[in-house]
Structure 1
C-alpha cells in the first residue's frame, strides 16, 4: 500500500511538472505571436502611408484632367478611396485582434491592402 501511494504521488508530481512546462511554452508562443503581429501592423501602417500618398496623387491627376480621362480618374479615385477605408478598417481589426485570431485577420488585411494597391495603380 505504501508503494502504491508513493507511486501515485510521483505520478502526480510528474504530471504537474509537465503541465507547468507546457504553460511556459504557451507564454513564449504568445509573445512570439504578439511580436509578429506587432511587426505586421507596423509594416501595414508604412504601406498605408505610401498608398495614401498615391491616392492623393491620383486625386491631383483627376482634378487636372478633363473629359473622358477625368471621368475615368474620378471613378478610379472613388474605388481607391473605398478600398483605402476597407484597408484602414482591417488594419484596426488586426491591431485589436486577439493572439489566437490575428492570423486570420492578417489574411483579410493582406487582401484589403492588395486590392488597394491594384486600385491605385490602375
Structure 2
C-alpha cells in the first residue's frame, strides 16, 4: 500500500518524466533492524534510494532512524535523495531532473523527458546536459 506522497512521486515524477518505475518498499537492514525504503532503482542498474518524508519523519525517534538509514546507505555506496510534500507539490520537475541525473550517473541508460508542466518552461534538460 502506497501513501499519498508515494503515489504523487510515482505519477508526477516517474511516470510524467519517463523515469523507470521504482521498486517499492524494499527491505534493508540498518543497525540490525529491517527497515523499508520507499523507492529503489537497483533493478534499473542504479544503486539509488528515494526516501519520501511525510509528517511522521519530523518525530525525534523517526528523525534519528532516518539519519542512521542515510549513513548506512552512504557506507554501502548507495546514492540517496529525499523529498517531501513541498517537493511533490511545488517542484516535481526539479525532483525528476535530480532523480534522472543520479540514475544516469549510476548506470541507467534510459532517456527521461519533460512533462506538460516543464515543457513550456524550457528547463529540461538542465543547462549543459543533452538527453
| Length-normalised TM-score, structure 2 | 0.28
Which has more helix, going by share of residues?
1
Which structure has the bigger radius of gyration? 1
Which has more strand, going by share of residues?
2
